[in-house]
Amino acid sequence: MGNLENLLAYSATLGTAEKRTGTLPRTFVGFSSTDIGQYRLMCAWKAHEHIDFDFADFQLDQAINSTDENYIKRLCRDKIRRAETYALLIGQDTYTKTTYVKWEVEVAIEKGCRLIGINLNSSRFKDYLCPSFFADRGALFVPFSPRIVATALEWNPQPRNPSLPDDWHFLDSVYAAKGYTLNGNSARLPPPPNPFASGRPSWAK
């Protein structure tokens, strides 16, 4: 795909419906092309996890073979202006995306979007995989898991203090309340109960 492979990092939007107002706050989701499988899994959360996510695709309609920073940022602004939150899926190679993904992040910061870093390695904190262009920018870091991502979308960022570190994470108690098991820096949901754990029911053959 050439330059399109990284263009806008296969960006998309995610939103949570607000039933009281009927509005749909949007989250622009950016990710490396190597992590498109995880993005597709996020698309399935609504149906399988019964969490009120809504997704709208914000990819460009056609391939743009350009490395012009100003031009790409203008395209990003056209997309991100419709979003209130920018979420970055952070995988093994995200930190290497220092052109398109970096420009996308810079546009989100310029707009004043709420920033969420979603760690594909299940880390609850900013770690060594976080791109330098996303670190210390006021982002909240969470693991790639539906319940905690839904909670992050309701997070209200604190005013930034340029003299202090500015990376955020939820307290252990937030994860415990959502049913997570903590193991060091990671948080994982326990597997669903096995309906046959106590033996095969009489109707099963």
201 falls within a domain: no
Containing domain of residue 56, as a range? 2-188
Exposure string over 177-186, b if 16+ CB within 10 A, otherwise e: ebebeeeeee
Is pTM beyond 0.85 here? Answer: no
Residue-wise pLDDT tens for the chain (205 aa)? 333 334 344 445 554 433 333 333 578 888 888 998 998 888 888 777 766 665 544 554 444 566 777 887 887 787 788 788 899 999 999 999 888 888 889 999 999 889 999 999 999 999 999 999 999 999 999 999 999 998 998 898 877 777 777 899 999 999 999 999 999 999 999 887 766 666 666 666 5
196 falls within a domain: no
Here the CATH number for the domain that contains residue 87 is 3.40.50
Query: For residue 46, which of 15, 78, 3 has the smallest C-alpha distance?
Result: 15
